Amino acid sequence: MATTTTETTGVKASGWQEFWAKEDWWAVWLGLGIVALAYIFYLSGSSISWIAVAPGKWSTLSQLGTQFSKNGIKYLALLAAFLVLFSIVITFIGQKAKEFIPSFIFIFVLSTIIYVIGAWDQANKYNLEPPLVALLLGLIISNVIGLPRWLDAGFRVEFYIKLGIVLLGATLPFTLIIWAGSVAILQASIVSLVTFFVIFLTARKLGLDHRLAAVLGAGGAVCGVSASIAVAGAVRAKKEHPPIAISLVVLWAIVLIFLLPLVCRALGLPTGVAGAWIGTSEFADAAGLAAAQSYGNLAGHHLGIAGTADQALASYTLIKVIGRDIWIGIWSFVLALISVTLWERNETNSKVQVGQIWWRFPKFVIGFLIASILTTLIVHGNSLADYTKLVKPSLILPITSLRTWAFTFSFLSIGLTTRFRDLASTGFKPFLAFTFGVVVNVALGYFLSVVVFGHYWSAIVTH
C-alpha cells in the first residue's frame, strides 16, 4: 500500500459544498447542461451535432483520411470543449488543471484512435470491440510500457462513467424505467442479498473479521469498489480491509469484462437478456458498461444475435443503477447499525446516523433520472416519422455520440489505472470467500436473467 507524508487536513466538504466537491454532482451538472444545450439548439432549428463529432464507417484508409480532413476542426473543437468543462470540474474538486490537461489530451487522442478502429467495417470480423480494445490498450500501456504517475490526473474512471450514464438517461424513455424498474429491483435484490450472505458467511466460516466480511460482501453484491469503500466507512473497517476488497473486485471485474460477453455470444443471448445478466453479475458500473456495450455492438451483424446495442445498455443500466447502486446507503446504514450493536461496541462510542442513506446515495442517478424525464417530455407528442426524421438526428444521436466519448474515456482509464503490481495482496481466505460469491452470483444471475425474466429483458423497448 502506498504511504503518504501529507499533513492532516481534516474534513473539507460538507453541506452545500457537496454540490461542487463531489464528482457525482459534477456529472449531474455537466450531463444535464449538455442535454439542456442540445434542446436549446434543437428548438432553434439547429443541433449540437456539429461538435458531437464521431468517426463514420470506413473501409479504406483514403476514406478515413477524407473524413478527418473534412472534420478535423470539429475534433479540435470537441477536445477544446471537453478540456474547458473538465478543467473546471478538476479545479473545483481540488485537483491541478495543469496536470489534468496534458493527461486528458493523451486520453482524447487514444480514444479517437479506438473510436476509429470501432468504425472500421471489418472491426467485428476481428473482434475489435471498442470497449475491450480500450481496456486492453490501457492495460498494456500501464503494465508493460508504464506511464509517469502525474498522468493519472486525467484518468478519472468514475467521473467519465457517471457523466456517460447521465447522458445515457437522456436516450432512455422514462416510461421504460417505470415499466422495467420494479423487475430490475426485484432481480437485483435477490442476487445482491444471496451474494452478500454467501461471501459474508463464507468469510466468517473461514475466520475472517466481521467487518472485512461485510466489506467483501458489499463489494461483490452491490457496486464493487464503491460499495466496499462505503461500507468500510460505515462499519469502521480496519485500515487494511479496503485494499483487500479493491484488489478482489478489480481482479474479478476485469475477468468478467472479457468472460461474460464471450459466454453470452457462445449462448447466442439476445442483447437485452445479456445486458441484464451483466448488470446482475458485474460489480463496478464502468466494468459492466464495457462488457454490455461490447456485446451490444455485436447485434445485427452476421453472428445472429437478436436485439439492439441500446437494449443491452438499457437492461444493464436498469439492473445495475436502479436495481443495485441506489441501495448502497441502506446497505451502509443497516451494516453500521449491526456493527455498533454487535461487532465492535468497544472501539468507538459513536452512534449510527440515518442521514447516511442520503449522504452515501450515488447522486449521479438523480441526473440520469432527470435526463430521462426531460427527453421523454421533449419527445412526447412527436409522431414516429417526426422522431426518426427530426428528433433523433438533431437531438438524440449527438447526445449518444458524446455519451460514447465519455464511456471510451472511462474504459481506457480503467486500463491505464490498473497496475497489477500496485494492488494489495489479498490472502487466500478473502480470495476464496469472494470467489465463491462470484460463482454463485454469476450462476444465479444467469438463471434469473435468462430463465425467469428472459422474456421480459429480450422485449424491452428503447427509443
Residues 56-115 that bind another protein (CB under 8 A): 93-95
Give me the residue label for grid cell 434542446.
Answer: 39
Taking CB under 8 A as the rule, does residue 327 contact another protein?
A: no
Residues for the chain: how many in total?
463
Choice between 129 and 285, CB closer to another protein? 285
Near another protein in 213-252, by CB under 8 A: 223-227, 229-230, 232-234, 236-239, 241-243, 246-247, 249-250
Choice between 294 and 401, CB closer to another protein? 294
Taking CB under 8 A as the rule, does residue 406 contact another protein?
A: no
Rounded to 5°, the CA angle 315-184-195 comes to 105
Among 183, 185, 276, 328, binds another protein (CB under 8 A): 328
Dist. CA 269–CA 454, nearest whole Å: 9
Dist. CA 49–CA 154, nearest whole Å: 25
Taking CB under 8 A as the rule, does residue 347 contact another protein?
A: yes
x/- binding map, residues 17-46, to another protein, per CB under 8 A? -x--xxxxx---------------------
For the CB of residue 253, give the shortest distance to another protein in the complex, in Å: 6
Choice between 198 and 284, CB closer to another protein? 284
For the CB of residue 371, give the shortest distance to another protein in the complex, in Å: 17
Near another protein in 148-207, by CB under 8 A: 152, 155-159
Dist. CA 169–CA 30, nearest whole Å: 13
Nearest residue to 460 (alpha-carbon basis) of 263, 257, 181, 192: 181
Near another protein in 286-315, by CB under 8 A: 286-287
For the CB of residue 152, give the shortest distance to another protein in the complex, in Å: 7
Nearest residue to 444 (alpha-carbon basis) of 281, 247, 200, 212: 281
Among 281, 356, 372, 458, binds another protein (CB under 8 A): 356
Please give the size of the binding site for another protein, defined by CB under 8 A. Answer: 80
Among 135, 208, 273, 284, binds another protein (CB under 8 A): 284
Near another protein in 419-448, by CB under 8 A: 419, 422-424
Dist. CA 246–CA 219, nearest whole Å: 8
Contact in structure between 180 and 456 (CB atoms under 8 Å): yes
Choice between 52 and 326, CB closer to another protein? 326
Taking CB under 8 A as the rule, does residue 134 contact another protein?
A: no
Taking CB under 8 A as the rule, does residue 459 contact another protein?
A: no
Choice between 15 and 45, CB closer to another protein? 15
Choice between 426 and 458, CB closer to another protein? 426
For the CB of residue 458, give the shortest distance to another protein in the complex, in Å: 29
- Residue 229: C-alpha distances to residues 8, 66, 216, 454, 458 (Å): 20, 48, 10, 33, 34
Q: Which burial class, exposed, middle or buried, applies to 351 when counting CB atoms under 10 A from its CB (0-12, 13-18, 19+)?
A: exposed
- Residue 92: C-alpha distances to residues 11, 208, 293, 373 (Å): 16, 40, 31, 28
Give me the residue label for grid cell 460499495.
Answer: 227
Dist. CA 25–CA 448, nearest whole Å: 33
Choice between 18 and 386, CB closer to another protein? 18
Choice between 114 and 287, CB closer to another protein? 287
Torsions phi, psi of 360, nearest 5?
-95, 0
Nearest residue to 300 (alpha-carbon basis) of 310, 291, 311, 309: 309
Choice between 290 and 371, CB closer to another protein? 290
Among 128, 337, 373, 461, binds another protein (CB under 8 A): 337
Taking CB under 8 A as the rule, does residue 140 contact another protein?
A: no
Choice between 5 and 62, CB closer to another protein? 5
The three grid cell numbers given for residue 83, joined into one nine-digit string: 478540456
Contact in structure between 324 and 312 (CB atoms under 8 Å): no
First to last CA, the chain: 46
Rounded to 5°, the CA angle 149-151-155 comes to 110
Among 210, 360, 403, 463, binds another protein (CB under 8 A): 360
Taking CB under 8 A as the rule, does residue 417 contact another protein?
A: yes
Taking CB under 8 A as the rule, does residue 281 contact another protein?
A: no
CA 131 from centroid of its chain's CA atoms: 12
Candidates 76-84, 261-269, 334-342, 439-447; binding stretch for another protein (CB under 8 A):
334-342
Sign of CA dihedral 264, 266, 271, 272: negative
Contact in structure between 31 and 367 (CB atoms under 8 Å): yes
For the CB of residue 66, give the shortest distance to another protein in the complex, in Å: 38
Candidates 44-52, 56-64, 120-128, 341-349; binding stretch for another protein (CB under 8 A):
341-349
For the CB of residue 215, give the shortest distance to another protein in the complex, in Å: 9
